Amino acid sequence: MSSHHIEHVEAHLVGLPLLRPHKLAMHTIETQLTVILRIRCSDGVSGIGEAATIGGLSYAGESPESIKVNIERYFTPLLIGQNPYNLNALMERIDNSIKGNTFARSAVESALLDAQGKHLGLSVAEVLGGPLVDALEVVWVLASGDTHQDIDEAEKMLDLHRHRHFKVKLGATSLARDVQHAATIKQALGNRASVRVDINQSWSESLCIGAGAQLAAAGVEMIEQPVPRHDWRALARLSRHLPIPLMADEAIESVADSFNLASAASAPIFSLKIAKTGGPRAVLRTAAIAQAAGIDLYGGTMLESSIGTLASAHAFATLPPLAWDTELFGPLLLAEDVVSERPQYHDFKLWLPKGPGLGVQIDENQLARLIQR
């Protein structure tokens, strides 16, 4: 039995300005609002985690404000005084008392994994069983909404050897403009880069039938979540008939959702996001379901800072190389971060840090300056 226990839990609402506006179908982000969590243990170890959403409540049923409040009001009493190094017991305790709230749960599980890694002198990937790769290929998202600006941005990333796969955000304008926007970008990049598109649930099934064929003809490789998340039957029908693979993203809001989607053969690709499944260990359960069903994987993001990005990266690194790579570019889009040293990106990949836990430390001055009061 461990004599260690959790002494203190603190959750901070932090505003992180972006280098440029990030335009999605449902929202344009200029400052990313996120929750930075710290769990302090009696042996002097502190674990850190993060929970971010995209555009407040425009993406999911949790917002940064609700995440902070719910961690303080409901999660913290379940954590104080407990052994921080028995993750199974702690997360079972949380599951028995709190329903849903996967974003908040993910921040808690990430912080506990970070603490355990520091306590044992192991990386989070090692705590999760060990990494299969040292680095993850990273897709860059083109979301300025301006075709020429997106092309210039992609060319810069190729020149820097930072990204060679690009995802174009669509759905905020007319269907014809959307298709032309993506097709023009693909034509400009040619065979030097792959192009995928993300609709963020903004098309109907009928619109997607015609647009999907046009996008495939233009050389676009994949369409992410074109229809509303609840309409898994439409996703399944489109997956059977379109000449281009579809990826389920918003449709997966829990591990149970991933099982239901796999059972219905709704999409041949799943986007993995620790926030939507409830943490790094939880996302690996979704990955196992997809692998058993022969579904390819993609490592998604909620535009987290370096803390949440690395929590995802450590989990994804324990899987065989993901067929559709990852989208862990969040720290690269931020004008400011809350860590003393950001992760390393080069040779088209994000490289896992070598230190214990997540491998990053909070910059206390930055955190204090960026806290939203």
7-38, pLDDT tens digit by residue? 999 999 999 999 988 877 667 888 999 999 99
User: Does residue 356 belong to any structural domain of this protein?
Assistant: no
Q: Phi, psi at residue 291, to the nearest 5°?
A: -60, -40
Considering the domain architecture, whether residues 78 and 165 belong to the same structural domain is answered as: no
Query: Could you tell me the residue range of the domain that residue 265 belongs to?
Result: 127-351
Helix axis angle for 280-293 and 102-120, nearest 10°, is 110
Q: Is residue 359 part of a domain?
A: no
Tens digits of per-residue pLDDT, 27-72?
A: 788 899 999 999 999 999 999 999 999 877 877 889 999 999 999 9
Q: What single string gives the DSSP state of each residue in 88-153?
A: HHHHHHHHHH--S-HHHHHHHHHHHHHHHHHHHT-BHHHHTT--S-SEEEBPEEE-SS-HHHHHHH
pLDDT for 311 equals: 98
Cβ atoms of residues 299 and 328 within 8 Å? yes
User: Is there a catalytic annotation at residue 327?
Assistant: yes
Helix, strand, or coil here: 169? strand
Choose among 103, 142, 49, 90: nearest CA to 254. Answer: 103
Q: Look at residue 195 and tell me if it is in a domain.
A: yes
Residue 50 lies in a domain: yes
Per-residue pLDDT tens digits for 173-207: 899 999 999 999 999 999 999 999 999 999 999 99
Cα 210 to Cα 141, 167, 234, 243, 335, distances in angstroms: 24, 20, 14, 11, 39
Give the Cα separation of 93 and 110 in Å (integer).
16
The residue annotated as part of the active site, out of 50, 224, 250, 327, is 327
Same domain for 158 and 104:
no
Q: Does residue 221 share a domain with residue 315? A: yes
Total count of domains within the chain? 2
Provide the CATH number for the domain around residue 82.
3.30.390.10
Same domain, 289 and 149: yes
Assigned token pair, 262: 């796999």
Inside any domain, residue 116: yes
The reply to whether 57 and 187 lie within a common domain is no
Residue closest to 9 by CA, chosen among 71, 69, 52: 71
The whole-number average pLDDT for the span 208-225 is 96
Residue 47 lies in a domain: yes
Say whether both 238 and 331 belong to one domain.
yes
For residues 59 and 148, state if they share a domain: no
What single-letter amino acid sits at 92?
Answer: E
Q: Are residues 51 and 114 in the same domain?
A: yes
User: Is-catalytic flag, 186?
Assistant: no
Same domain for 282 and 144: yes
Provide the total of helices (H) and of strands (E) in the chain, helices listed first: 15, 13
158 and 61 together in one domain: no
Which of the residues 169, 273, 276, 349 is marked catalytic? 169
Binned at pLDDT 50, 70 and 90, residue 167 comes out as very high
Looking at every residue in the chain, the average pLDDT score rounds to: 95
Are 113 and 161 in a shared domain?
no
Beta-bridge mates of residue 297: 270
Per the domain annotation, does 357 fall within a domain? no
Q: What is the pTM of this model?
A: 0.96
284 and 172, same domain (yes or no) = yes
358 within domain boundaries = no
Query: Each residue of 229-257: pLDDT tens digit?
Result: 999 999 999 999 999 999 999 999 999 99
